[in-house]
């Protein structure tokens, strides 16, 4: 497909959509789907048919509308007579039985009982770049993506920009990797572009997403899969690769299904494959399904897994940029990193660099979960204070409970207490607070959480997800877990705490990969801010939050 054909397809699709006076959008991303949004969609379709409105009202599935805790979500749009912006209403907790009322409402007043206000901070404070199409287009139809200028950026870059210009734009944007460590994306692309690939280079999209509670990447893949393909194609063009892999965990069947469909559609339209848009650039994408091991998100383990080997990390250097999959120079980026590429090339690096803080540019998507009113997917500019996320966007803590900590960064991250709620969310600030940006999990805890218990939970995760290759991580995580358990059972002494810290130090500094290096982090951060809780378990044999089962009177049993 060349640029003219692309704009023709886009125009045709927009015109087809304009035929409909009304549109009903049903969220068909995993969360709403799990509460039967597909049944709502078919009920709505039946109802529209029954009323004979097929010509004027379109029912379609769209991606995640973000406020997952109020799902299933449905929105209706009505084309005004003269307004360009259609009037839109969002509905929450919809059931299939609500279909008649919803269809009826198109002609009159909104269904008050189901209405979900959208003028709230949850929606107002968000800035959507990564999620710009999420909840707005049907992820299973390439035409809808093309209608919102999809693939136009790729074709523009292929015909008017050199690979070096693409990289320069990414460098200028200040984009940093969203997979965890926040490495400069422009710098990584430059390295891979300069690497002497001989015949082949690869681009990999890391969609392993293993952090407990995280679902940002899944949501992007389910809601807007073509954006990832287009971002990867731009990356491939920039670094000189012709083949790509998307490594996605098999536990994401919906994301896989939509990616498969998207790849097929893009290939059929000549937007992936050989000589894209009549240029010399060729790019194919293959899916690789992971079995869900957390460590397979680590880049060298992921590459081993793609090659069909046991998913274990290897020492770096050499970095994948020099020697990656099949020994070839390989660019590996996270899903959300790739999702930022199209807007950056479309709007320019300077535009992107204007959002966020001095060192952390753009927005970050978080999966907001835990003890908070509004759980779901949020996208906020870098530098947004934690307080705003918790109390405004998140709507505060339910049940009149007090906020205790927010956990970011997954198992390599930490817990940030109330006194630091005014800190901005960016890479450096989080590290300073003893936490970590990670991939975007954000778990809110209230006063009913015991911080030793939280640390134990993450340590159990690290222990069972350790690949077992290097000694400190394999054995050390097991010891740390045992020692933490001893504390939560009220059986530990201060000597155990000292030993725990010593093991933490060794594991952090001598482990082979980031899993081991980061594993002690939840202990360090909870000890830093909640040392008194550790001491209460050890010295007073009490769990202040009342979570840990401490068997009092061990002595009595002995006596």
Partner 1 sequence: MSPTVRVKTLTIDGQAVGAREDQTIMQVARENNIFVPALCAIEGLTPVGACRLCIVEVKGVNKLLPACATRIEEGMEVTTNSERVANYRRTILEMLFSEGNHICSVCVSNGHCELQTLAKKLGMTHVRVPYRSTMRRVDASHERFIADPNRCILCTRCVRVCDEIEGAHTWDVMGRGINSRIITDLSQPWGDSDSCTSCGKCVNVCPTGALFEKGKAVSEMSKRQEFLPYLTLMREGKK
Ligand X SMILES: Cc1cc2nc3c(=O)[nH]c(=O)nc-3n(C[C@H](O)[C@H](O)[C@H](O)COP(=O)(O)O)c2cc1C
Which lies closer to partner 1 via its Cβ, residue 257 or residue 310? 310
How buried is residue 472: exposed, middle or buried, by Cβ count under 10 Å (0-12/13-18/19+)? buried
Q: Which residues between 462 and 481 bind partner 1 (CB under 8 A)?
A: 463-479
Instruction: Dig out the tokens for 270 from the structure.
Output: 């000549």
Which lies closer to partner 1 via its Cβ, residue 316 or residue 387? 316
Which lies closer to ligand X via its Cβ, residue 210 or residue 329? 210
Please identify which residue in 317, 399, 400, 553 interacts with partner 1, judged by CB under 8 A: 317
Instruction: Dig out the tokens for 472 from the structure.
Output: 């400190």
Q: Which does 179 bind (CB under 5 to 8 A by kind): ligand X, partner 1, none?
A: ligand X
- CB 475, min distance to partner 1, A: 4
d(CA 71, CA 91): 9
**Interface with ligand X by CB under 6 A: which range of 133-141, 150-158, 266-274, 293-301?**
293-301
Per DSSP, the three-state class of 334 is strand
**Interface with partner 1 by CB under 8 A: which range of 217-225, 314-322, 324-332, 525-533?**
314-322
Please identify which residue in 52, 315, 399, 553 interacts with partner 1, judged by CB under 8 A: 315
Q: Which does 547 bind (CB under 5 to 8 A by kind): partner 1, ligand X, none?
A: none
d(CA 547, CA 529): 18
Q: Which residues between 495 and 534 bind partner 1 (CB under 8 A)?
A: 499, 502-503, 506, 509-512, 517
Which lies closer to ligand X via its Cβ, residue 9 or residue 334? 334
- CB 326, min distance to partner 1, A: 16
Q: Which does 148 bind (CB under 5 to 8 A by kind): ligand X, partner 1, none?
A: none
**Interface with ligand X by CB under 6 A: which range of 38-46, 332-340, 382-390, 426-434?**
332-340
Interface with ligand X, residue 426, by CB under 6 A:
no
Per DSSP, the three-state class of 328 is coil
Please identify which residue in 334, 375, 407, 408 interacts with ligand X, judged by CB under 6 A: 334
d(CA 543, CA 545): 6
Q: What is the DSSP pairing of strand 87-91 with strand 74-78?
A: antiparallel
Q: Which residues of 492-527 are buried (b: 16+ CB within 10 A; e: fewer)?
A: beeebbeebeebbebbbeebbbbbbbbbbbbbbbbb
Please identify which residue in 47, 138, 298, 533 interacts with ligand X, judged by CB under 6 A: 298
Q: What is the DSSP pairing of strand 414-417 with strand 74-78?
A: unpaired
Query: In angstroms, what CA-CA distances link 164 with 93, 175, 197, 282, 546?
Result: 49, 16, 16, 17, 59
Q: What is the DSSP pairing of strand 363-370 with strand 441-446?
A: parallel
d(CA 510, CA 505): 8
Interface with ligand X, residue 178, by CB under 6 A:
yes
Which lies closer to ligand X via its Cβ, residue 135 or residue 311? 311
Which lies closer to partner 1 via its Cβ, residue 292 or residue 385? 292
Interface with ligand X, residue 213, by CB under 6 A:
no
Interface with ligand X, residue 208, by CB under 6 A:
yes
Q: Spell out the long-range contacts of 103-109 with Cβ–Cβ below 8 A and sequence spacing 24 or more.
A: 103/24, 103/44, 103/47, 103/48, 103/51, 103/53, 103/57, 105/76, 106/22, 106/24, 106/53, 106/57, 106/76, 106/78
Interface with ligand X, residue 515, by CB under 6 A:
yes
- Residue listed under structure tokens 């994306």: 185
Which lies closer to partner 1 via its Cβ, residue 370 or residue 476? 476
- CB 515, min distance to ligand X, A: 4
d(CA 163, CA 408): 35
Binding site for ligand X (CB under 6 A): 177-181, 183, 206, 208-210, 294-295, 297-299, 332-334, 337, 439, 513-515
């Amino acid at each position: 497909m060349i640029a003219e054909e692309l704009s023709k397809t886009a125009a045709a699709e927009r015109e087809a959509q304009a035929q409909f006076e009304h549109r009903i959008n049903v969220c068909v991303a995993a969360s709403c789907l799990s509460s039967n949004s597909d049944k709502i969609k078919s009920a709505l379709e039946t109802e529209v048919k029954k009323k004979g409105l097929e010509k004027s009202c379109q029912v379609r599935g769209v991606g995640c509308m973000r406020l997952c805790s109020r799902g299933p979500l449905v929105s209706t749009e009505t084309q005004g007579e003269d307004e360009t912006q259609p009037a839109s209403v969002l509905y929450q907790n919809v059931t299939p039985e609500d279909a008649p009322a919803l269809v009826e409402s198109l002609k009159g007043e909104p269904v008050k009982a189901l209405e979900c206000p959208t003028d709230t901070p949850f929606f107002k404070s968000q800035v959507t770049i990564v999620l710009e199409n999420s909840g707005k287009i049907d992820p299973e139809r390439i035409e809808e993506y093309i209608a919102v200028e999809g693939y136009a950026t790729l074709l523009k870059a292929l015909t008017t920009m050199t690979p070096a210009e693409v990289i320069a734009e990414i460098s200028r944007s200040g984009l940093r990797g969203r997979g965890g460590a926040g490495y400069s994306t422009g710098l990584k692309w430059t390295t891979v572009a300069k690497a002497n690939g001989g015949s082949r280079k690869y681009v990999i999209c890391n969609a392993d997403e293993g952090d407990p509670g995280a679902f940002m990447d899944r949501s992007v893949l389910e809601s807007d899969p073509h954006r990832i393909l287009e971002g990867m194609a731009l990356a491939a063009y920039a670094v000189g690769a012709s083949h790509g892999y998307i490594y996605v965990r098999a536990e994401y069947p919906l994301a896989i299904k939509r990616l498969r469909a998207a790849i097929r559609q893009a290939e059929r339209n000549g937007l992936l494959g050989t000589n894209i848009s009549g240029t010399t650039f060729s790019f194919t994408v293959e899916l690789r399904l992971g079995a869900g091991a957390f460590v397979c998100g680590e880049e060298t383990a992921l590459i081993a897994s793609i090659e069909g080997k046991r998913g274990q990390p290897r020492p770096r250097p050499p970095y994948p940029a020099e020697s990656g999959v099949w020994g070839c120079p390989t660019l590996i980026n996270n899903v959300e990193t790739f999702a930022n590429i199209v807007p950056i090339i479309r709007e320019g690096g300077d535009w992107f660099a204007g959002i966020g803080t001095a060192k952390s540019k753009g927005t970050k998507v978080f999966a907001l979960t835990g003890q908070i009113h509004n759980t779901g997917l949020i996208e906020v500019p870098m530098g947004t204070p934690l307080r705003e996320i918790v109390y405004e966007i998140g709507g505060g803590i339910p049940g009149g409970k007090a906020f205790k900590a927010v956990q970011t960064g997954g198992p390599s991250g930490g817990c940030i207490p109330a006194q630091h709620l005014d800190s901005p969310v960016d890479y450096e600030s989080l590290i300073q607070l003893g936490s970590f940006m990670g991939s975007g999990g954000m778990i809110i805890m209230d006063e009913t959480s015991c911080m030793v218990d939280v640390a134990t939970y993450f340590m159990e995760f690290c222990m069972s997800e350790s690949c077992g290759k290097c000694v400190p991580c394999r054995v050390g995580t097991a010891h740390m877990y045992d020692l933490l358990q001893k504390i939560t059972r009220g059986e530990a002494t201060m000597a155990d705490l000292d030993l725990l810290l010593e093991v933490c130090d060794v594991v952090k500094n001598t482990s082979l990969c980031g899993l081991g290096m980061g594993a002690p982090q939840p202990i360090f951060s909870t000890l830093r801010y909640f040392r008194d809780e550790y001491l209460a378990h050890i010295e007073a044999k009490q769990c202040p939050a009342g979570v840990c089962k401490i068997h009092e009177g061990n002595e009595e049993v002995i006596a």
